[in-house]
């Protein structure tokens, strides 16, 4: 409960209005929003163990969840789950009209498969990384999209989250995971409203890619 209380304060303190993140040269991009009454659940999790600790990437289901975070458009709230609450997390995902994440089908769902016999890949899902990879024929990092689209950056990475877990720093993991969920939500909403997102290529040039997420 202390973790959740601290996180609510963190979210308020780190609120980043999207309008302040737009680059002036992109002001012509439409900002007209369409109301979506669906319960879209944005989702991310962090693990207890690295791939080399469980015998490689074929055993993602053995990595264990340290923290899972969701944001539901149905109730307008973030939820933070520890491993003891993993079944509650899975139930929330099952209630969603759409689960949106970044590499969550290939990774996060596989982590959760270590806790449930259900095939979570059957849930209605939009994996932003997979969708963009199909369009560009190469993978993008969430940080690249967030930086080019909003001028925002991730506050940590998965390796740092693993170190925090070993150090017992659960609050830091929750903060990081929650921020990733927020960035994922911002990217999805921007793409749904404007039909494109921006990203930095390997040479540091800002490019854009068309997306069709408004009906996803």
Collapsing DSSP states into helix, strand and coil, what is residue 109?
A: helix
Question: Residue 45: which of 73, 76, 70 has the closest Cα?
Answer: 70
What pLDDT, on a 0 to 100 scale, did the predictor assign at position 25? 36
What sign does the CA torsion over 36, 124, 183, 79 have?
positive
- CB–CB of 191/127 below 8 Å? no
What pLDDT, on a 0 to 100 scale, did the predictor assign at position 159? 82
What pLDDT, on a 0 to 100 scale, did the predictor assign at position 31? 35
Q: Which residue has the tokens 């059957």?
A: 122
Residues of the chain with pLDDT below 70 are 1-36, 154, 215-216
pLDDT digits (tens, 9 = 90+) for 108-133: 999 999 999 999 999 999 999 999 99
pLDDT digits (tens, 9 = 90+) for 46-67: 999 999 999 999 999 999 999 9
What pLDDT, on a 0 to 100 scale, did the predictor assign at position 216? 60
pTM of the predicted structure, to 2 decimals: 0.82
What pLDDT, on a 0 to 100 scale, did the predictor assign at position 6? 53
- Alpha-carbon distances, residue 55 vs 61, 62, 161, 163 (angstroms): 11, 9, 19, 19
The CATH architecture assigned to 2-13+37-210 reads 2-Layer Sandwich (3.30)
What pLDDT, on a 0 to 100 scale, did the predictor assign at position 9? 55
């Amino acid at each position: 409960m202390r973790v959740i209380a601290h996180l609510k304060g963190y979210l308020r303190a780190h609120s980043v209005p999207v309008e302040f993140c737009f680059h002036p040269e992109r002001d012509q991009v439409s900002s007209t929003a369409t109301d979506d009454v669906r319960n879209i659940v944005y989702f991310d999790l962090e693990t207890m163990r690295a791939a080399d600790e469980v015998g490689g990437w074929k055993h993602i289901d053995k990595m264990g969840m340290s923290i899972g975070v969701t944001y539901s458009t149905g109730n307008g709230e973030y939820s933070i789950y520890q491993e003891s609450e993993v079944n509650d997390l899975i139930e929330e995902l099952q209630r969603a009209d759409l689960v949106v994440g970044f590499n969550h089908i290939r990774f996060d769902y596989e982590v959760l498969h270590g806790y449930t016999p259900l095939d979570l890949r059957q849930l209605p899902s939009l994996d932003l990384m997979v969708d963009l990879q199909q369009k560009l024929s190469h993978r993008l990092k969430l940080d690249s999209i967030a930086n080019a689209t909003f001028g925002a950056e991730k506050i940590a990475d998965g390796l740092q989250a693993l170190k925090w877990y070993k150090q017992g720093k659960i609050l830091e993991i929750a903060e990081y995971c929650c921020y990733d969920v927020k960035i994922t939500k911002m990217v999805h909403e921007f793409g749904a409203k404007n039909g494109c997102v921006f990203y930095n290529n390997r040479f540091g040039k800002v490019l854009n890619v068309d997306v069709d997420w408004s009906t996803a």
